[in-house]
Amino acid sequence: MFKHSKVLQYPAKPERPDPVFAKKMQEILGGQYGEISVAMQYLFQGWNTRGNEKYKDLIMDTAAEEIGHVEMIATMIARLLEDAPVYEQEEAANDSVIGSIMGGMNPHHAIVSGLGAMPENSTGVPWNAGYIVASGNLLADLRANVNAESQGRLQVARLYEMTDDKGVKDMLGFLLARDTMHQNQWLAAIRELEEKEGVVVPGTVPQGYEKEEYAHTLYNFSDGEESAQFDWLQEEAPDGAKFQYESGPVAYGEKPVLKPAPKQSHNTPDYGD
C-alpha cells in the first residue's frame, strides 16, 4: 500500500521557461532509462521476491523513492513550460528565437498535456514495459538495476551539460547524487550475492547441463586480433576458470537442411537446383 506526501523530496524549480529543454528532460522521465523505468522495475522486482525480506525491503524502499523522482521531474517539466510562447501563431514564428522554440519543443506539451509532463521520452515515444525486468533471480535483477542506474546517471550528466539554468542544475545535481547511492547499494548487494552464488547467473545450474568445454573461450569472429590483447585473458576468469582464445571462429555444426513443408502451408515447393 502506498501513501502520498505532498512535499517533494527535493526542490524542482527552474529559473526561467525553456520548452526545448523540457522536451529533452522527458528522456529521464519516460525514456528507456528514465525514472518511470526504475520505479516500475523495482516495484515488480519487489512484488515478485520470494523470501529474502532484506532484499525485498531494499528494493521497495528504492521503488518508492523513484516514484518521488518521477514526481520531481514531472513538476520541473511543467514549470519549464510555464510562461513560454508555446501557443504562438505563424507571424510570431518569424522571430528566430520563438521560431526555434516552436520547432524544437515537443508538440504534445502544447496540444495534448496543456503544459504538463508526458509519460514519454525525449522523442515523444510513450513509455512501455518492455524496458524493464523482474526475473525472480536477485543477482540477475540487481545487475539490471546497476545497469539502469549507470545509464540513468550518464543521461543526467549529459543533460546537466546542456543547460545553464541554476534551478535545473540544482535538481540534476541531486539526481546525480541519488544515482551514485543507488549504484553503490546495488553493487554492494551484488557482491554479497556473488559470494553466496558465484558470479555466473544463475548459480544453480547443475553439473552436466552446460557444455563446459565451450564455457571459457573467446572466439575471434572479426579479422585482426585486437581482442586477444586484453591482459585479463591471461588471468583467472571471474568464475575462477581459465580463459582460452581461438583466433578463428570454429563451427561445430553443419549446414542445416530443412525438410519440405506440407502442402497445406502453401510454401514454395523445393525446385531443386
Binding residues: 35, 57, 61, 66, 69, 149, 182, 220, 222, 224
Instruction: Give the separation between CA 42 and CA 208, rounded to whole angstroms.
Output: 34
Using CB under 8 A as the criterion, what x/- string covers residues 29-58 for binding a second copy?
-xxxx--x---x--xx--xxxxxxxxxxxx
Q: Does 247 bind a second copy (CB under 8 A)?
A: no
Using CB under 8 A as the criterion, what x/- string covers residues 3-22 for binding a second copy?
xxxxxxxxxxx----x-xx-
Q: Does 166 bind a second copy (CB under 8 A)?
A: no
Say what the alpha-carbon torsion angle 234, 237, 242, 245 is, to the nearest 10 degrees: -60
Q: Which of 22, 67, 167, 207 binds a second copy (CB under 8 A)?
A: 67
Q: Does 207 bind a second copy (CB under 8 A)?
A: no
Q: Does 218 bind a second copy (CB under 8 A)?
A: yes
Instruction: Give the separation between CA 245 and CA 232, rounded to whole angstroms.
Output: 12
Contact 144/133 with Cβ under 8 angstroms? yes
- Minimum CB separation of residue 38 from a second copy in Å reads 13
Instruction: Give the separation between CA 108 and CA 120, rounded to whole angstroms.
Output: 10
Q: Does 272 bind a second copy (CB under 8 A)?
A: yes
Position 9, amino acid: Q
Q: Does 195 bind a second copy (CB under 8 A)?
A: no
Instruction: Give the separation between CA 215 and CA 198, rounded to whole angstroms.
Output: 15
Nearer to a second copy, 38 or 201 (CB): 201
Q: Which of residues 142-161 bind a second copy (CB under 8 A)?
A: 143-144, 146-147, 150-151, 153-155, 157-161
Going 56 to 58 to 64 to 69, the CA torsion angle's sign is negative
Contact 80/19 with Cβ under 8 angstroms? yes
Q: Residues within the annotated binding site for Ca(2+)?
A: 57, 61, 220, 222, 224
Instruction: Give the separation between CA 175 and CA 177, rounded to whole angstroms.
Output: 5
Q: Does 80 bind a second copy (CB under 8 A)?
A: no
- Minimum CB separation of residue 39 from a second copy in Å reads 9
Q: Looking at residue 245, what DSSP letter applies?
A: E
Instruction: Give the separation between CA 251 and CA 28, rounded to whole angstroms.
Output: 43
- Minimum CB separation of residue 72 from a second copy in Å reads 7
